[in-house]
Amino acid sequence: MMRHELEILRAGDESADTLLLIHGINPISPQAPFVAGLARTRYVVAPSHPGFGASPLPADFDTMYDLVNLYLDVLDNLPGDDIAVCGFGFGGWIAAELAVAGHNRLRRLILVDPVGIKIGGREERDIVHMFNTNPVELNRLAWHDPARRPAGIYGLGWQATISDTMTDAEMVSLARNWDSLCLFAWRPHMFNPQLRHWLHRISVPALVLWGESDRIVTPSYGRGFAELIPGAVFETVTEAGHHPELEQPGAFVASVERFLS
């Protein structure tokens, strides 16, 4: 049996219900306020994908298929039989694929501003191009208020972090994250052409949560995403862009707790 080494953030009481967080471009920071908020009532587990953060990238690991199957293995090894999965952005795509694949321990699904599907026409761009957009513009589009963006390796708009005080290790991690995103999601850019046809297979309660000011993937894209998942609830978070968990952590945690409770 093949085993993969992963960097994993854990928070909260292990006896509580487990909440698996699947990160976007950058791994989830233990300093992010929403982590402590969720950990008050949940056992939070947040791995770094292979090739991201400090998780090694196996030589033959390079497709979304690999990531989905890895997270199926993660679900096999988490405590409890009532596990909620929450995916952010790129991680929302992984979480949606995971729910389509199905697992008997996955009982609730939360997608936060996910990418992963094509909704518009062939010549329409649903998702801002992560690699061909000026980093300053990417930062502007990703945040409701870019001036309030947390210092450090958080979310999109990576160039804004370079002016901060960063260690060499943080800069290496940031570069690894973007290199690995390119490996898994360059073409087609940030979506699976087949996924939208299989979202109807998601059979667990689902919450699709969106920042009202997200211009990376707009709320209209989010509504279209939610409509493809049977029974999914769609909610927006005011004064938040692509990262409501970072811009409005209190409102984000409250929405998640209402849904899980």
pLDDT digits (tens, 9 = 90+) for 168-189: 888 888 889 999 999 999 999 9
Look at residue 158 and tell me whether its pLDDT is greater than 90.
Answer: no
**pLDDT band for position 153 (cuts 50, 70, 90):** confident
pTM over 0.85: yes
Mean pLDDT of 124-149: 91
How many C-beta neighbours within 10 Å does residue 196 have? Answer: 17
Of 45, 43, 44, nearest to 16 by C-alpha is 43
CATH architecture of 8-260: 3-Layer(aba) Sandwich (3.40)
User: What pLDDT score does 152 carry?
Assistant: 76
DSSP, res 83? E
User: What pLDDT score does 182 carry?
Assistant: 96
| AA letter at 75 | L
pLDDT digits (tens, 9 = 90+) for 24-43: 999 999 999 999 999 999 99
The span from the CA of 235 to the CA of 241, in Å, is: 13
